[in-house]
Amino acid sequence: MKKISVLIPCYNEECNVVPMSDEIVKIFENELSAYDYEIVFIDNCSTDNTRSLLREICLKNRKIKAIFNAKNFGQLNSPYHGMCQTTGDCTISMAADFQDPPGLIPTLVKEWENGYKLISCIKTSSRENKIMRFLRTIYYKIIKKMSDTEQIEHFTGFGLYDVTFIDVLRNLRDPTPWIRGIVAEMGFKRKDVTYEQPERRAGKTKNNWYILYDLAMLSFTSYTKTGLRLATILGFLMGGVSFMVALAYFVYKLVYWDSFSVGVAPLVVGVFLIGSMQLFFIGFIGEYVMAINTRVRLMNRPLVIEEERINFDPPEDKP
């Protein structure tokens, strides 16, 4: 009997973990009764009642497991680590807030049985804030144009991953894993499944503008070179233009010494324009430097440190 793992990262989701587990169990008992299953919650150090509820859930059903992180290790490391701890023939990763619809699980499994190693769920529309939807669309368009690697638009990580892909993740040892880019980069046979993203069932989103900006910069620094090359090319062109303007200014001043005058306004505008461009590209290059520093600093550190595991088999003794 094939085994399907469902990974659910969570942080302060006390209103959602119980109904989410109940709905997934019903799906496996009814529509996917031919499969064995496990549901793995990985909690990123919640401060509400989430952990108490997870203990109760795990006590009632041995197929529901939980990993409690010692601290909040961020929304990239925790799901990645959780995926590497699953034991099924495939792993379905989804959010705890019902914005990733559990009803899509049978569809994902069907496509997996058709031979696809990766099934990525793509948001064709969303009931989220219209401004956020517009900004996300612009972001995906930009990075898709700038990246040498294929980028999947409106893919949040929700999808199904075959165990062969999970084995790749276990051996990558990336200290700052960007699962959306890895999915597009590895070249496994992939199927896209579209859906409309509903609103959160309960609770508030944990993503603020700083977190979203940090995630966007991680994707840019991991999968694009265009920004750095644009800075180099634009700097070369601006230098050439500045030299030509200076030369023309010098010649014109020699010929028309008595009648030549230049207002202050054009000079001020030029200084501010060039200065702002320099600051922008210095900051952009700084993002690459910070990304390199982070990867080097965290290279030999674990993605997360676990505080507790529930319903996992004890590790086998090595000879």
Q: What integer is the mean pLDDT of 6-29?
A: 94
Per-residue pLDDT band at 23 (split at 50, 70, 90) = very high
Nearest by Cα to 129 from 180, 194, 197, 195: 197
CA torsion sign, 221 to 224 to 227 to 233? positive
Per-residue pLDDT band at 176 (split at 50, 70, 90) = confident
Q: What integer is the mean pLDDT of 72-93?
A: 91
What is the pLDDT, as a whole number, of residue 137? 74
Contact 32, 113 (CB under 8 A): no
What is the pLDDT, as a whole number, of residue 319? 40
Q: Is the pLDDT of residue 182 over 70?
A: yes
What is the pLDDT, as a whole number, of residue 255? 67
Per-residue pLDDT band at 49 (split at 50, 70, 90) = very high
- How many CA atoms lie within 13 Å of 22's alpha carbon, on the beta-carbon side? 7
Q: What is the mean pLDDT of the chain?
A: 80
Which carries the bigger pLDDT value, residue 149 or residue 112?
112
Which carries the bigger pLDDT value, residue 199 or residue 202?
199
What is the pLDDT, as a whole number, of residue 227? 63
Per-residue pLDDT band at 314 (split at 50, 70, 90) = confident
The mean-pLDDT minimum among 5-19, 71-85, 249-263, 304-318 falls in 249-263
- Domain at 3-205+302-310, CATH class: alpha beta
Which carries the bigger pLDDT value, residue 148 or residue 125?
125
Q: Is-above-0.85 flag for pTM? A: no
Per-residue pLDDT band at 221 (split at 50, 70, 90) = low
Q: Which residues contact 31 (CB under 8 A, 6 or more apart)?
A: 106
Calculate what percentage of the chain has a pLDDT beyond 70.
Answer: 63
Q: What integer is the mean pLDDT of 24-39?
A: 95
Scored b (16 or more CB within 10 A) or e, 263-301 reads eeeeeeeeeeeeeeeeeebeebeebbeebeeeeeeeeee
The pair phi, psi for residue 196, each rounded to 5°, is -95, 125
Enumerate the domain spans of the chain: 3-205+302-310, 226-297
Which carries the bigger pLDDT value, residue 82 or residue 174?
82
The mean-pLDDT minimum among 58-62, 90-94, 196-200 falls in 196-200
Which carries the bigger pLDDT value, residue 159 or residue 256?
159
Environment class of 209 (CB within 10 Å of its CB; exposed 0-12, middle 13-18, buried 19+): exposed
CA 227 – CA 92 distance, rounded (Å): 34
DSSP assignment of 115-145, as one string? Answer: T-SEEEEEEEEESS-HHHHHHHHHHHHHHHH
What is the pLDDT, as a whole number, of residue 222? 63
The mean-pLDDT minimum among 6-20, 288-302, 305-319 falls in 288-302
The mean-pLDDT minimum among 19-28, 67-76, 120-129 falls in 120-129
